[in-house]
Amino acid sequence: GAPVSSASTTVTLLGSNIGPLKWRAASESGGIIIDISNIKMYSLASDWTWVFKFEHISSVKSKIKKHETL
């Protein structure tokens, strides 16, 4: 399934010194859209393969049930 992000999610590009990338959630049910506009092609180790590292994500959206107080 699509990765589910949290407030502590970070995305980095392995093999680069760029640091954490900007990202946003694609939808409520999951998915991440990565902003790569600041990545310069000449600064990459490879023209062919990019590997993004996701930290602090899950694969399933947890459903929190609200309990009503009587």
String of DSSP letters for 8-68: T-EEEETT-S--SPPEEES-TT--EEE--TT--GGGSS-SS---EEEES-BSSPPPPPPPP
In this prediction, residue 16 carries a pLDDT of 87
Give tens-digit pLDDT for 10-44. 999 998 888 999 999 999 889 999 999 988 888 88
In this prediction, residue 61 carries a pLDDT of 60
Q: What SS3 class is residue 25?
A: strand
Domains in the chain: boundaries? 10-55
Question: Is it the case that residue 46 has pLDDT exceeding 90?
Answer: no
Percentage of residues of the chain with pLDDT beyond 90:
51
Q: Which residue has the higher pLDDT, 62 or 10?
A: 10
